[in-house]
Amino acid sequence: MGSGNSTIDLDALTANRRVLDTLAVCETAAVVKADGYGLGIDRGAKALAKAGARRFSSLSLWKAPQCIRRLARSAVSS
């Protein structure tokens, strides 16, 4: 299997979040993966929280506890 690199633009991620907030007629939630496509939940979720995300959803029920712990650690270290 080949390898590759991907780059996640945190500025674009947060800009998209802010646009969504201006368009939404209800409260929205950020859906996060435990590793966030190699970005790691810490950086991605922290950026989304700074952009105004107050609710987070996990991709799957069994990943939720891991996501909650990592988000909590990320909040404490910021």
* Average pLDDT score over the chain: 78
57 inside domain:
yes
4 inside domain:
no
60 inside domain:
yes
Domain membership of residue 30 as a residue range? 10-77
Report the domain count for the chain. 1
What is the spatial distance between Cα 54 and Cα 1, in angstroms, rounded to a whole number? 38
pLDDT tens-place string over residues 24-51: 999 888 887 766 566 667 778 888 888 8
The total number of residues written for the chain in this structure: 78
Which residues, 6 or more positions from 75, have their beta carbon under 8 angstroms from its beta carbon?
46, 49
pLDDT tens-place string over residues 48-58: 888 888 888 87
Q: Which two tokens stand for residue 33?
A: 């993966």
